[in-house]
Structures are given as C-alpha cells and as structure tokens.
C-alpha cells in the first residue's frame, strides 16, 4: 500500500470476523472490457529517396531545392472498429514542417510498379500496405512519416511502431 500523505493517517480497518470463521477467498474479477470502441491502429513506415526516369524524361522532376521521396506504409488494425485508410491521411514531418502527399512522385511510384496506398476500409484484425510519395527539401534526413486516420473515437489510438514490432503484433493477434 502507498504511504499516507501525512503522518498518523491510517486506512480504516474492516470489522473483525467472528472467532473460527475463515476469510473467504477473494473472487477473481472478470476481465473488464472497455465500454465502446477500443484498441490500437499500428503503422510502420520506411522512407526512401526516389527518382522516376519516366517523369524526368518528361521534365517533371522535383522543384528546385526539393527532392521526391516515397514512404512504404504498413497499417495493422487491432481495434474493435473498421478503420478508413487513405493516402491523404499520411504526411512527412521534417524540421517542424509537414509535407503532404504529392501527385507527381506518386505517379512515378505507379510508373515504377510500386503499389499505391489505396483508400480502403481495414476491418478489425486486418491490414493494408502501400506507397505514398512526397516532395521534401533536398537532403532532408531523419524525416518522420505520419499516419492520422480521421474520425476515430477517443478509445482508438494510432501508434507508430517499427516494421519488426508490427510483425510481432500481427503474430500475437493471430494467436489470440
């Protein structure tokens, strides 16, 4: 028990049991399930610099001082509700600024055969994956990919994890 906040404070004691009567075994509490929607949506993402020779041949490269990057997102829904996933819920943070998906490098991803993170509803225990492309400052390092699903109730949290942690979470969910 934690110590009392001030000296002399004691927790009250219950009435004594009659002589010879044993104290009943405490009953285990049933596992309390939260009321309403709950759980987590986990995502992992890896960011890579990308060049599309097809776009460049059309004169459609990044703006001056910028570079194209693509991020592979893996999303696992371990909540109790279906969750909408859309590439527009993704962003890259760098030096306090937020960069949103960019159409040109996304087209480059498609031209290079990288699967796009298509809008989809991911059911509980389900998953999806795909690429989302961005234009960020040239030389940007330690960028932070973000995923922010819209319209989730407060009982459902979004959490970024590593790709390895995501695989572990998936395996644990499959074993339950």
| pLDDT band with cut points at 50, 70 and 90 for residue 148 | very high
Strand partners, 47: 71
Question: How many Å apart are CA 67 and CA 106, to the nearest integer?
Answer: 13
Q: What are the tens digits of pLDDT across the range 65-94?
A: 999 999 999 999 999 999 999 999 999 999
Query: Which residues touch 47 (CB under 8 Å, ≥6 apart)?
Result: 69, 70, 71, 92, 143, 145
Whose CA is closest to 41, among 72, 85, 99? 85
Question: How many Å apart are CA 157 and CA 114, to the nearest integer?
Answer: 28
Alpha helices in the chain (DSSP H): 53-57, 103-111, 163-174
Question: How many Å apart are CA 37 and CA 47, to the nearest integer?
Answer: 31
Which of 34-48, 102-116, 159-173: highest mean pLDDT? 159-173
Q: What are the tens digits of pLDDT across the range 115-145?
A: 999 999 999 999 999 999 999 999 999 999 9
């Amino acid at each position: 028990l934690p110590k009392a906040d001030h000296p002399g404070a004691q927790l009250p004691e219950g009435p004594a049991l009659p002589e010879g009567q044993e104290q009943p075994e405490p009953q285990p509490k049933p596992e309390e399930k939260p009321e309403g929607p709950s759980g987590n949506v986990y995502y992992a993402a890896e960011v890579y610099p990308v060049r599309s020779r097809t776009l460049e041949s059309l004169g459609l490269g990044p703006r001056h001082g910028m570079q194209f990057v693509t991020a592979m997102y893996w999303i696992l829904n371990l909540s109790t509700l279906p969750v909408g996933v859309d590439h527009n819920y993704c962003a890259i943070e760098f030096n306090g600024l937020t960069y949103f998906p960019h159409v040109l490098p996304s087209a480059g991803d498609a031209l290079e055969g990288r699967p796009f993170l298509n809008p989809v509803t991911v059911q509980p225990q389900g998953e999806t994956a795909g690429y989302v492309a961005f234009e960020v400052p040239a030389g940007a390092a330690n960028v932070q990919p973000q995923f922010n699903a819209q319209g989730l109730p407060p009982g459902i949290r979004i959490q970024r994890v590593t790709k390895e942690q995501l695989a572990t979470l998936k395996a644990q969910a499959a074993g339950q």
